[in-house]
Amino acid sequence: MKVGVPKEIRPSERRVALVPESVSKLVDAGMEVVVQAGAGAFAHFADEAYQNAGATVAANASAVYDAADIIVKVQRPTFGGEDEPPESSMLRSGVVLIGFLQPLYHPAVAKGLAEMGVTGFSMDAVPRIARAQSMDALSSMSSIAGYKAAIMAAEALGIYLPMMVTAAGTTPPAKGLVLGAGVAGLQAIATSRRLGAVVSAFDVRPAVKEQVESLGATFIQEALHTEGMEDEGGYAKQLNQEAQQLEQDLIHTHARTMDFIITTAAIPGRAAPILITKDMVRDMRPGSVIVDLAAETGGNCELTKPGETVVANDVTIIGPLDVPSSVPVVSSQMYSRNMLTLLQHLVRDGELTLDFEDAITRDCCITHDGKVLHGPTLELLGEGGGKA
């Protein structure tokens, strides 16, 4: 089997799907690897390092797509626009494509891949089960995003995060609120605490209380906690309208006293829930900061503008996109390890082995044999699909 690693072409993407360390392990297992020249440059992995790991370096993307049986990427392939040529035009029938296809947000991509006869695996669909933890790229990237969100908040604030005792006086520690205690939220808490901030956290799932407190943060107790607020994948379920209002009222009460807020709430396949309204922003402290990690799906703050930093009522609202890509070395290394483990699961004795009785293969295989297999994506396509 030949594995191809093209250079990512979507704007601002700096990660690479495989780093030289993982390439070496694939080569040792009897696989061939073809890497596009410059594919790892933004993450500081030189072509020479790939060659030393046993890979062949190809001059351009077309050469990689033509040679490979399996294409590994970070981002979903482009289907048109200003790209010359779009990546979809280089995919051929029968090839395997693995990457963050995000079929719940881009179902038309899945439809297009199926029509081309591409077998597509999505890294964001890896099931959250014990034996798939080493393949869970979504958690890996969320951890990096949570870390970077705390750094962004510290950089944007006009005050120290830790308490500082100086000859000029003592400054109190900054107070932060993290909304959502999933992987990103927990890492945001941990990093903010390491930097010296006093942190509180809110989540509708009572099961995360112990994790929050183990990191030294205060779990907001007064929340509307309802059993069964977690789906099978470990994500929070969408609240009904009455519960959403109670949730917003609670957040409003605490937001008034915070120097920074980091939001991480996401519901797979849906727009991010609004947790911070413009009225809440109006009541926040002058100079306070919101880092909205849900910006890519609309944002948890009503005033968030994805990809931009705005100031409203003297509150800075940061809506970053593709946050893991801003830490390209570590994010590429972690993603590459996730990819390597999935490849080792799918390729056995040098042959692609698709066992659809296996939960990992079944859940993350989006398209195969000219069909969309992923149930939730099929439901979305039945509702009209979307743009690729």
The residues annotated as belonging to the active site are 128, 133, 136, 139, 235
Q: Is the peptide bond before 20 cis (omega within 30 degrees of 0)?
A: no
The one-letter amino acid code at 288 reads: S
Check if the beta carbon of residue 208 is closer than 8 Å to that of residue 183.
no
Q: Say which residues have a Cβ less than 8 Å from residue 289's Cβ, sequence separation at least 6.
A: 153, 156, 157, 259, 260, 261, 315, 316, 317, 318
Measured in residues, the chain has a length of 388
> Would you give the end-to-end CA distance of the chain in angstroms?
29
Q: Say which residues have a Cβ less than 8 Å from residue 44's Cβ, sequence separation at least 6.
A: 328, 329
Beta strands in the chain (DSSP E): 2-5, 32-36, 56-58, 70-75, 96-100, 119-122, 164-166, 169-171, 175-179, 198-202, 218-219, 260-263, 289-292, 309-312, 315-318, 347-348, 351-352, 365-368, 371-372
The one-letter amino acid code at 354 reads: L
Q: What is the CB neighbour count within 10 angstroms for residue 330? A: 15
